[in-house]
Chains A and B, each alone.
Chain A
Amino acid sequence: MNKKVATGVAHDTQGYTDGTPAGASYDGTSNRARWSVGAGADLDLVSDTRAFADGALVHVAAFFKGGADQPNYVKLRLYVDGVQEAESGFLNYDLDGSNITYIYVLLAYKAMSGSKTSKLSAHNYDTATRYVGTAMGADSNYQPAAVVQMSSKPG
């Protein structure tokens, strides 16, 4: 019987961008940071801009570790070049990272050309302001709460 053997495809991982959006507040009592998300609005968590050869096939991966101050209101949205490509379920309650650790992953795969930007945002479906939060390191430096990465097969 002939067996098909999967062969790996080398991809040029072009680095990644992690970040913490402006406006983080630290409550000083525990290792946590949080950001407010306006009612019905998006909060941009992190973005990544890279240039691609004409017609490159690009993987986009976004990660978020953390939670929201209340369950059932905030979802993550992955935008690639101004077009939404994925949305998560609601973030669970985990504002300080001490309850249960949740990691959310959103993915997209597209043909692109030229300089493109991907971004991971938190969207608040509630009519009141909500908060998203993440744990901080022991030295009180922000951990990479959100990461978005674009990579393509070398041309």
Chain B
Amino acid sequence: MRIRVPITGKILEKRVVNGVPYVSGDPDDPVRPVDFIDLLPAHLRDFGWQNPVYDFEKGEVELEIVFAKKAVEAVPGDPAMMRPETDQEFEARRIATEAALDDIVRNHRAELEALKARRYMRELRSTGRPVT
């Protein structure tokens, strides 16, 4: 599936390369999607994304969500004893995750926009600097 989410970060330069808008971001504050996985339940956050199409005019990016089989605990509570997900487990997780992502994009736009501010708060905390 593909989803559109807000972007965050600092743009240093904008220009056109081969007819395509090209943007350079600040290495210390990269241009990227907001941390939308924060809005998902913890058990539905294991996926990746690729092939982003940035829309800098709207401040959004379209992402292709990708899934891969993950390792799950063969013995509950022991992360050292892992086994691959079964086909059924993988498919159930993919369907549930896509439904949750669809719900966020359709019904939780304000929360997505709010993540821009929340991201800075969290990073300030991680540096130990006071949060204002």
Interface check B88, CB cutoff 8 A: no
Residues of A within 8 A of B24 (CB): 81-83
Known: A70-B79, A107-B50. A89 touches B68 (CB 8 A): yes
Residues of A within 8 A of B68 (CB): 89
Interface size on A, residues (CB 8 A): 38
Residues of A within 8 A of B18 (CB): 55, 57, 111
Docked CA distance A69–B25 (Å): 31
Residues of A within 8 A of B42 (CB): 72
Known: A41-B126, A79-B30. A100 touches B82 (CB 8 A): yes
Docked CA distance A115–B80 (Å): 43
A contacts with B: majority SS? strand
Report the nearest B residue to A88, measured CB to CB.
B48
Assess whether B82 is in contact with A117, with CB atoms less than 8 Å apart. no
Assess whether A85 is in contact with B17, with CB atoms less than 8 Å apart. no
Interface check A32, CB cutoff 8 A: no
Assess whether B25 is in contact with A93, with CB atoms less than 8 Å apart. no
User: Which residues of chain B from 114 to 132 have any CB-CB distance to chain A below 8 Å in the complex?
Assistant: 122-123, 125-126
Report the nearest B residue to A80, measured CB to CB.
B25
Docked CA distance A71–B78 (Å): 11
Report the nearest B residue to A47, measured CB to CB.
B27
Assess whether B35 is in contact with A125, with CB atoms less than 8 Å apart. yes
Assess whether A83 is in contact with B49, with CB atoms less than 8 Å apart. no
Assess whether B48 is in contact with A89, with CB atoms less than 8 Å apart. yes
Interface check A141, CB cutoff 8 A: no
Known: A55-B17, A83-B54. A93 touches B123 (CB 8 A): no
Docked CA distance A110–B49 (Å): 16
Assess whether B70 is in contact with A83, with CB atoms less than 8 Å apart. no
Assess whether B71 is in contact with A113, with CB atoms less than 8 Å apart. no
Chain A: minimal CB distance from B98 (Å): 14
Known: A70-B79, A82-B27. A41 touches B17 (CB 8 A): no
Known: A82-B24, A83-B23. A99 touches B125 (CB 8 A): no
Report the nearest A residue to B123, measured CB to CB.
A40
User: Which residues of chain B from 5 to 20 have any CB-CB distance to chain A below 8 Å in the complex?
Assistant: 9, 12, 17-18, 20
Assess whether A71 is in contact with B126, with CB atoms less than 8 Å apart. no
By a beta-carbon cutoff of 8 Å, the part of chain A in contact with chain B is 38-41, 54-55, 57, 70-72, 75, 77, 79, 81-90, 92-93, 99-100, 102, 106-108, 110-113, 117, 119, 125
Task: Enumerate 25 A-B pairs (CB-CB under 8 Å) in ascending A order.
Answer: A38-B126, A39-B122, A39-B126, A40-B123, A40-B125, A41-B126, A54-B17, A55-B18, A71-B79, A79-B25, A79-B32, A82-B12, A82-B25, A82-B30, A83-B24, A83-B25, A85-B52, A86-B51, A89-B47, A89-B67, A102-B71, A111-B20, A113-B17, A125-B35, A125-B38
